[in-house]
């Protein structure tokens, strides 16, 4: 697992320079209608929605399922609902993130990426942590505060 993190850290700058488009997926995992799962990564600051890159052999929902299992030990039971696809041009001129709402899930095991994920925790929507990244904060405001959906991450 450490090798995967090291390889990703080395290759991400290369991918951003050589690929015209990158695609990621993140999940708004809802517990009890009012709590949201957030994760803290070992390689970047702040609290994030769980997720990651879409691999060549995956569709968006497969990637979401893989990432939720790796980062949080969760399995998706019902069909996740697409919230939107957002441009993260602050990170890269071709970076896009598909965000899904996951209401029907189950804990399958402990997370497998203990080196990648330092912490995972459910937070009440009205008590989100400091350090929540702007894109995640924007998505949660759209969903829970009925703010207009922006195409910007």
- Looking at residue 151, the DSSP 8-state letter turns out to be S
CATH number for the segment(s) 2-144? 3.90.79.10
pLDDT in tens, the chain (153 residues): 556 666 666 766 665 566 567 899 999 999 999 999 999 999 899 999 999 999 999 999 999 999 999 999 999 999 999 999 998 766 666 789 999 999 999 999 876 657 889 999 999 999 999 999 999 999 999 999 999 999 888
pTM: 0.84
CA distances from 107 to 21, 29, 48 (A): 33, 12, 19
Domain boundaries, the chain: 2-144
């Amino acid at each position: 697992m450490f090798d995967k993190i090291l390889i990703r850290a080395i290759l991400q700058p290369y991918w951003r320079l050589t690929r015209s488009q990158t695609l990621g997926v993140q999940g708004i995992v809802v517990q009890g209608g009012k709590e949201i799962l957030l994760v803290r990564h070992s390689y970047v600051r702040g609290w994030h929605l769980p997720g990651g890159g879409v691999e060549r052999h995956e569709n968006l929902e497969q990637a979401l399922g893989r990432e939720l299992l790796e980062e949080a030990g969760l399995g998706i039971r019902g069909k996740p609902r697409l919230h939107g696809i957002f441009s993260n041009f602050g990170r890269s001129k071709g970076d896009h993130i598909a965000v899904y709402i996951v209401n029907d899930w189950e804990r399958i095991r402990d997370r497998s990426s203990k080196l990648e994920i330092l912490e995972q925790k459910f937070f009440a929507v009205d008590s989100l942590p400091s350090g929540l990244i702007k894109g995640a904060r924007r998505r949660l405001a759209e969903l829970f505060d009925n703010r207009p959906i922006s195409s910007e991450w």
